[in-house]
Structure 1
Amino acid sequence: MHMNIAQLRLHNQHIAKTHFVQPEQVISHFGGMQGQDFPGVKWSIGLRLPQTTDVHIRRVFDERKIVRTWPMRGTLHVVAAADVRWILQLTSPKNIKGSLRRRDQLELDDKTLTKSREVITKALQGGKQLSRDEVYAALNAARISTEGQRGYHLLWSAALHGLICFAATTDAEQNLALLEEWVAPAKSKTRDEALAELALRYFSSRGPATLKDFIWWSGLSAAEARAGLEAIKSHLVQETVNALTYWMPFEIDLHQDVTNAFSLPGFDEYLLGYQDRSAVLANEHAAKICPGGNGVFFPTMVIDGRVVGTWKRAIKKNSVVITVDPFAKLNKPALSAFKQAAYRYAMFMGLPMVLD
């Protein structure tokens, strides 16, 4: 069987076409979306919801329907409020264990970490929300240094323990709040239930994908990821391509009447959701997406499922300036199609577009 992995992913990721109408539906479908770049993850949600705006996405964060914290791989993701606790309970133990060496380098012992959580709790309890700098100030006042990367690690550790999360949005970022106060209680899951649910969310939203892709994305151990997949195999179909086994949902109806060009943000799940990105990105162009392998991914131009270049935007007072940098010269139809994709982003931001 010939399988167009890129086109199937565009479909299952709800990039090509979607039936979702609310941001929390998109996030729930994915299980989580990588979110260290706050403006970028808002567009990751928005490009999957035609007619929505940046203002609308921000409002959904403020309404506590979706939450930003550090679950998968200890990296910032956006998750549905109903899912945040069981996902953290599933993924945090391995993330905490894997941080011991870094913790030692930062001279953060158990006593200091415990005290830091007490200080953070006292600073935020009662429904308070503080910026990162304000939380750092509270820690420093308690003689817990936040110098260098210590402050970030203290916040990260508190989040992994289910203590804090990002809350209401400000102009630039989000404030921090106590998770217990910010997010309403939700039904818990056993570990086996959580493994199965996270696997189902992953392969339903990102299939075709391999077990190795799921291991990489989730940060789970190979044994845990395998157990999760084993529990949900009856809900998936598998195909083998070049000796690799891919898993995906059963019912896939590829639409022929959809757009073929997309302006994706830098950390979108279309790329970051997989260990192996070769189905959509040629290996020789990988360094152009993440120069120097520094972990910072540029926004991408996607045409017919393939990454064909990068783009950037500059927000001005009365416009958004879009600059494109294709890997090779695009023909007029491709350039015109991407112009429409860029225009969608400008509409999302509520600004006129200038294509540079």
Structure 2
Amino acid sequence: MLLRREPVGALEAIERLGGMQAQAPNPPYIGLWSRVEGFEFDEVSRLMTERRVLRIVLMRGTLHLVSARDARVLRPLTQPLLDRYLTGPAGWDLDGVDLRPVVDAARALLEEEPRSDKELRSLLGERWPDRDPARLGWAVRLSLPLVQVPPRGLWGKAGTARHTTLDAWLGEDAAAAAEPSIDEMVLRYLGAFGPASVQDVQQWSGLQGLREVVERLEPKLVRFRDENGRALYDLPDAPRPGADEPAPVRFVPEFDNLTLSHADRTRVVSDEHRKRIFTVNGIIRATFLVDGFVHGMWKAEKKRGEATLRIEPFAPVPGPERAALEEEGMRLLAAVHPDAKAHAVEFVS
């Protein structure tokens, strides 16, 4: 949906993308603004308060914005990844600890009312004073499907992150409609990000051993080879634009699926520039696209009532694309900071 904005609702767009990385609350809104025709920021906030869209830990063990339907389907499929974290080297100090009563107690506490991590740690520490409450809280987050409830995640709203269980948030009756299928998960991924390799699917999901799944699905797929001879798979009727397809300038937010959903992203960003947008502390910086390729980074801020978009190119931007970036940047600022008394786009070295 970056070649042309699609006339779809936010819910459909989120599902078509297989969910959106949501480590920070605001980036998914920008990602949808760049993909959806006539996108209104309040639409996602409304979907969240109506419990049709929610924030939950899924692929790669990271927070995602997904539909309620997808949360039910994807959360059980990503549990093996979270179990691997729990039983791996990071969980060494929990060896021999019976976590079942801890998880059961946490479930009851979180279903009683949404609680912050700090509140949960304090309550667990009272019951297990001989254990590190921070580590118990970490184990609970890996063991239970937890929803980060509003107002956290609503556009323009601030608030402490508080959690309850997926069942408590959606109602246990909704669980009966969920049919988790790893095959369907892979097909959904290819629908959003194909053509892609087995390694790409594993990078996106965080799961291992998906080669046999892809091989089982191969009769339903089309297969290609990239420049390095790697097998790429796609859905037969998926759009595959040619190299001459025009690609307009686009602003892509932090943590966007575009930069996180493949093992090999050289189709959109060079390895050299990827190192610049992936920071050592886990931040994936916002980028902008010129002709479908990452050409630099951007940042928007508002000070003393004036909103400014600063564009940092990796290389000189040709005149027509520079003008298009200025125009698109002004539209972005108007959407993000509609109450600013002035808007400006600046190019910085």
* Fold match (TM-score > 0.5): yes
Query: Are the structure 2 counterparts of residues 144 and 73 from structure 1 closer, same or farther at C-alpha, using a change threshold of 3 Å?
Result: farther
> Which 5+ residue runs of structure 1 have no aligned equivalent?
1-13
Contact 1:67 1:166 in 2 (8 A): yes
CA distance in 2, matches of 1:108, 1:346: 50
Query: Are the structure 2 counterparts of residues 62 and 105 from structure 1 closer, same or farther at C-alpha, using a change threshold of 3 Å?
Result: same
Q: Which residue does 1:4 correspond to in 2?
A: none
Picking from 17, 29, 34, the partner of 1:30 is 17
CA distance in 1, matches of 2:254, 2:130: 33
SS at match of 1:27: helix
Amino acid at match of 2:224: E
Picking from 79, 83, 86, the partner of 2:66 is 79
Q: TM-score, normalised by structure 1?
A: 0.82
SS at match of 1:314: strand
Q: Over aligned residues, Cα RMSD in angstroms?
A: 2.8
Q: Does 1:125 align with 2:111?
A: yes
Picking from 48, 70, 82, the partner of 1:61 is 48
The percentage of aligned residue pairs carrying the same residue is 23
Deviates more, 1:49-58 or 1:280-289: 49-58
How many residues were matched structurally? Answer: 332
Q: Does 1:266 align with 2:254?
A: yes
Instruction: Please give the per-residue CA displacement for 1:294-336, whole angstroms capped at 9, x wherever unaligned.
Output: 3211100111111011111224464432111111122221222
Q: Which residue does 2:208 correspond to in 1?
A: 221
Q: Does 1:46 align with 2:36?
A: no
CA distance in 2, matches of 1:205, 1:344: 26
Amino acid at match of 2:264: D
CA distance in 1, matches of 2:183, 2:42: 34
Q: TM-score, normalised by structure 2?
A: 0.84
Query: After superposition, where does 1:215-294 map in structure 2 within 5 Å?
Result: 215-222=202-209, 225-242=210-227, 243-249=229-235, 250-252=237-239, 254=241, 260-292=248-280, 294=281
Q: Which residue does 1:89 correspond to in 2?
A: 76
CA distance in 1, matches of 2:223, 2:121: 48
Picking from 312, 315, 333, the partner of 2:299 is 312
Q: Does 1:210 align with 2:197?
A: yes
Query: Are the structure 2 counterparts of residues 143 and 307 from structure 1 closer, same or farther at C-alpha, using a change threshold of 3 Å?
Result: same
Amino acid at match of 1:130: R
Contact 2:246 2:291 in 1 (8 A): no
**CA shift at 1:264, angstroms?**
0.5
CA distance in 2, matches of 1:230, 1:20: 34
Q: Which residue does 2:120 correspond to in 1?
A: 135
**CA shift at 1:253, angstroms?**
6.8
Picking from 97, 116, 140, the partner of 2:102 is 116
Picking from 140, 158, 162, the partner of 1:172 is 158
Contact 2:224 2:231 in 1 (8 A): yes
**CA shift at 1:282, angstroms?**
1.2
Contact 1:20 1:26 in 2 (8 A): no
